[in-house]
Amino acid sequence: MKIIAYSDGGRIALGIVTSPAHFVAVSDIAPDLPSSLISILEQEDGLTRLRLAAEGRQGDRALADVTLKPFLDRPNAMWALALNFKSHIAETGLQTSMEFPHLFMRTAASYVGAGEPILAPAESVARAFDYEGELGVVIGTPGRYIPVERALDHVAGYTCLNEGSVREFQMHNRQFGLGKNFEASGSYGPWLMTRDEFGDPATHTIKTRINGVVRQSAPLDDMLLGVAQVISYLSQGYRLRPGDLIAMGTPGALKPQPDDVEGHDLSRQYGPFPTPGLVHMRPGDWVEVEIDGLGVLGNPVAADAAISESGDAAQKSAA
């Protein structure tokens, strides 16, 4: 089952995708279910009721007609992993534990939905704004002290995720802080694919494309620590909650093709680790994260407001 959230006249509604182009509204097929995915996940039989309600339905709405939105409305925790692919560890030259996940957090405001603009910082603020194609894991069943062998039972489903990162700010100090939390700097979607349909994450691959050029490509079993290990680790101290998101880390840059002028041009890189095949995200780009068997998360990149254009800043000046 593929669950979307979309903008429906100012409010966020849920839908179930029924074909490559169509979906049904959850409020049409299951009006008694909550309109928030987290609230559905909090009901022990929520996903089951949704699945029964959607069974055999023909989609009567077109995906092309709606704006997709992030399907998690402010969960308690949005975890993310740094340095969880050997290829990314190698290209940065950074150290990480081989035993414990390298965990930090993002806020809900740092993510937009599929198709929505990702905001590149104003050039006066930062220029090393990087995509990070990742597997996103959404928790369904809460739990503490979850053994590795039962950890995947706690997963509601998976999504594609672009963990957009502002490298200059990430390097301001030892904790990543603001560098991983710029406004609308990342995205996830296009939908939540439930665990039963996605199967074992380790059998899938992930690709990131900028303007059609593949910049990252890796099997998900290249991860240093897998989904089950990370869930089990977190549950030692934290009660995983329905709707919690875990971004599983990004692979390294793919070696550029010989004729890929941009991919070889390190002079246009402003980050701490200039790497062949890496290009920053810039306004006007189109960025895609694809996980085979799951779907494609595509976003345009737009320019964030600079200080003089910011409504908030202007409002403050006037106050």
Least CB distance from residue 291 to a second copy, whole Å? 24
Residues that bind a second copy (CB under 8 A): 74, 76-77, 79, 82, 94-97, 99-109, 121, 125-126, 141-146, 150, 153-154, 166, 169, 172-179, 181-183, 185, 233-234, 236-239, 241, 305, 307, 310, 312-313, 315-316, 319
The DSSP result for 64-106, as a single string, is GGS-EE-S--S-S-EEEEES-BHHHHHHHT----SSS-EEEE-
Tokens found for residue 233? 């680790």
Q: Which is nearer to a second copy, 3 or 231 (CB)?
A: 231
Q: Which is nearer to a second copy, 159 or 165 (CB)?
A: 165
Least CB distance from residue 180 to a second copy, whole Å? 9
227, 155 Cβ separation under 8 angstroms: yes
Q: Which is nearer to a second copy, 176 or 191 (CB)?
A: 176
Least CB distance from residue 166 to a second copy, whole Å? 6
Cα within 13 Å of Cα(107), Cβ side? 9
d(CA 208, CA 9): 32
Q: Which is nearer to a second copy, 130 or 288 (CB)?
A: 130
Q: Which is nearer to a second copy, 210 or 245 (CB)?
A: 245
Q: Which is nearer to a second copy, 18 or 181 (CB)?
A: 181
217, 209 Cβ separation under 8 angstroms: no
Q: By C-alpha distance, which of 225, 228, 227 is closest to 148?
A: 228
**Pairing status of strand 133-139 against strand 155-162:** antiparallel
Q: By C-alpha distance, which of 35, 39, 37, 62 is closest to 191?
A: 37
Contacts of 307 by beta carbon, 8 Å cutoff, 6+ apart? 122, 124, 313
Least CB distance from residue 161 to a second copy, whole Å? 17
Least CB distance from residue 275 to a second copy, whole Å? 20
Least CB distance from residue 135 to a second copy, whole Å? 18
